Amino acid sequence: MQNLTKCSNRHYFIPYKIINLSSKHDIVFKYGIDTIFNLRYINANGNIKLKRLPILERHHVLNKAHTKYGMIQSALQDYFNNQCKLLKFGSYRNFSTSSSHNKEEDNNKSSKNNDSDPVKYIILSFLKIGAVVAFLYFIGKHILFTSTESTANISWREFVQEMLAKGEVEEIVVFPSTNMVKIHLYPGAIIKGQKLLFHSYTMHIPNIDQIEEKLRKEEKKLGIKQENGISVIYNRNSERMIYILRLLSLILLLYTIFSKTSVITNFKPFISKLKSANFTLVEPSMKHGKGVRFEDVAGLKEAKIEVMEFVDYLKQPERYQILGAKVPKGALLLGPPGCGKTLLAKAVATEANVPFLSMNGSEFIEVLGGLGAARVRDLFKEGKKRAPSIIYIDEIDAIGRKRSESSINTNDESERTLNQLLVEMDGMISKENIIVLASTNRAEVLDKALLRPGRFDRHILIDLPTLAERKQIFEYHLKKIALQEDASKYSHYLSYLTPGFTGADIANVCNEAALYAARQKKKIVEGSDLMYAIDRTIGGTKKITSTVTPSMKRVIAYHEAGHALVGWLLKYTDALLKVTIVPRTNLSLGFAQYTESDHKLQSKEELHEKMCMMLGGRAAENLIFNQITTGAQNDLEKVTKLAYLQIQQYGMCPTLGLLSFDEESTSQRTKKPYSKQLGNLMDAEARRLIAEAYEKAQQIIVDNRDKLEKIAEALLEKETLSYDDVEKLIGPPPHGKKNLIELAEFVISNQTDESHTVNPTAT
């Protein structure tokens, strides 16, 4: 126990925690043990150091109290429970005898005691809230009806017949806010022959605004003159009080809740967390482990050269500064999905010897307004702290869309985010040594202000890989799986079989081959597994439980034979690789595969013959079965699109002349930049082109019906035919092998193995 100071005619203080009273009110105790003395507890609101009990006696009394501490403590507690009462503050002499360490212990103990019984705490909080709501309710009710007189409710009919008609009504008080009317009667009024128990009545009126008009009509019916009408008083003071009560109740309710919880203390950090940019940081010290490097990005030679300049500038800035060169402020990676834009950004993050801050465009936009712009500011603020640095925004079209010129289709939150991004990239405050990289596959929707030099100085196109790039990508991914032979023996042929494949598609083909080999319990991946993976990517897996009937299978065989025959006999079509009628899971009942070229330019004759080949299946069905099916739906869609491209964009229609309209201007969502008459002419020309292609395809089928039947019957027997199989059936193509590639050894061996195991299909 701490030493206590003796002062004559002054109070003595002992620490509050010794007595350990549970009350926190201002109280006075009077208790006698040998010598009666007074205890007073001073509330800490007066002084933070006043958690002590002043004792109004001399020093020897305190010594005696100290020796009998246990008895005093229990006695005081009992007395407190029975005889505590409030006391006004007096004048006290305050002095502290406890250390700050003891204060911290007291605070910790009190916080632990408060948290020790959470159920009790929650119940008490709800009881307090309920008490506040009940108090406000009764106060509001009292204010609305301030009269101390008792009232009863009546209907409008009773009011008219029993009160108004008998002249017992003195006045009517209308409360518009509650749709209630208070009826005051004359003293001594008698209703239904009885003396009234109430001097006033209340009545509910749905259309309170028409109460006076309704009352005057009833008075007119009863013959009451206008000058003798009942006075109507509108009491609008209650409306103001209702608004005030609602406001006060809301304030009290929020205060009651927030004062008992940690919402106030945690609200500001919560808002700050929402405004902060949730970016991924790659520090230079974290790049020593595994990561994507430029040598891991197969193909994309031109794109890598441009992006590597940024990395080289950050590593050796003196080399460029001597020549007065400035690094571009930003680069935009454009191209179809799956071509390697994000992969190239990952390589930059690994190779660059500076901090790399990455964030997705969709992460800027939230439900709450203003967060997008705040997160853009925070992202560039963090980038500036770590300068020189690189900021990468993936899928920037989420925040970089064109700003709308009309107020109908505008998106204020998206536009505020875009405006903040424009300011941060090239505003009044220059951001030195910060390079911005971004990627998107929808460059056509980006705002022009975002694309200009000074923001994104370079637009790097990452297009579909060429034949040479597909070969490099195949070799890179094939090295990661256990192959039967070297990867170079597969990559050349596989690259020819996959025109239009992206890097992601090629990676998926290699992975599917490994999965299929594992499913077949093989120890290595063979060429047949790779061919299976390509077929699966193009058409899906084989449908084992097929519901194709023999008659339907025959129609499919002639349909696919028509495609193969027309393409075989024309000059500008691609070389046939194989044709199959095996049902696939992507709803295709058969397909023909060709070796498409990477040529960017196509003549009118080439497009016309492609349309003929697409319509060969419908022509064969019509000739052999004298009826058509829905199997040509996909062919007709492609033919229609190709016909309109020739007319609307390529300027290949002599009737319309050299006109070109992009796809957006000819869509249904925008106003067309041509007249209705010109649109009708386009439709007529498209029908003409399709009709000419169909007539030519039909003529080829009629002239070579015997060859058509040979191919169809072979398909019914084997289900899949290769180029060599078709050549044995109908002879070599009249215009040469075109762009045919020789079959790889692994494909030839695979076909030889299958020829010994394939069972003929009964028709």
Cα 393 to Cα 345: distance, rounded to the nearest angstrom: 10
Considering the candidates 395, 526, 560, 609, report the single residue annotated as catalytic.
560
| Whether 171 contacts 231, CB under 8 Å | yes
Q: How far apart are CA 182 and CA 208, in angstroms?
A: 12
- Closest by CA to 218, choosing from 154, 159, 155, is 159
H or E segment and range at residue 461? strand 458-461
- Residue type at position 645: L
Residue labelled with tokens 């603020």: 381
**What are the b/e assignments for 608-639, b being 16+ CB within 10 Å?**
bbbbbbbbbbbbbbbebeeeeeebbeebeeeb
Which distant-in-sequence residues (6+ apart) come within 8 Å of 219 by Cβ?
A: 164, 226, 229, 230
**How many angstroms separate the CA atoms of 625 and 559, rounded?**
11
Retrieve residue 123's tokens: 């119940």
Q: Is 396 exposed, middle or buried (0-12, 13-18, 19+ CB in 10 A)?
A: buried
Q: Which residue, among 380, 377, 304, 313, has the nearest Cα to 341 in the 3D structure?
A: 304
Q: How big is the CA angle at 10 (ends 4 and 14), to the nearest 5 degrees? A: 30
Compute the distance between CA of residue 357 and CA of residue 349 in angstroms, rounded to an integer: 9
Q: From CA 187, how far away is CA 251, in angstroms rounded?
A: 44
Give SS3 for 331.
strand
Among residues 595, 599, 598, which one has the least CA distance to residue 743?
595
754 labelled catalytic: no
CA 162 to chain centroid, in Å, comes to 66
Residue 465 token pair = 């890989």
Report how far Cα 260 is from the mean position of its chain's Cα atoms. 34
Query: How far apart are the C-alpha atoms of 596 and 577, rounded to whole Å?
Result: 10
* Distance in angstroms (rounded) separating the CA atoms of residues 467 and 492: 9
SS (H, E, C) 660-718: CCCCCCCCCCCCCCCCHHHHHHHHHHHHHHHHHHHHHHHHHHHHCHHHHHHHHHHHHHH
**Cβ 390 vs Cβ 307: under 8 Å:** no
Burial of 193 (0-12, 13-18, 19+ CB in 10 A): exposed
Q: For the purposes of burial, counting CB atoms within 10 Å of the CB of 390, is it exposed (0-12), middle (13-18) or buried (19 or more)?
A: buried
Angle at which helices 237-259 and 263-275 cross, to 10°: 80
Distance CA 79, CA 75 (A): 6
**Which two three-digit tokens encode residue 521?**
């319990």
Q: How many CB atoms lie within 10 A of CB 263?
A: 12
Question: What span, in angstroms and rounded, lies between the C-alpha atoms of 171 and 184?
Answer: 5
Cβ pair 468, 504 in contact under 8 A: no
SS (H, E, C) 18-68: HHCCCCCCCEEEEEEECEEEEEECCCCCCCCCCCEEEECCCHHHHHHHHHC
Measured CA to CA, the distance from residue 390 to residue 333 in angstroms comes to 14
Report residue 142 CA to chain centroid gap: 50
Catalytic residues: 560
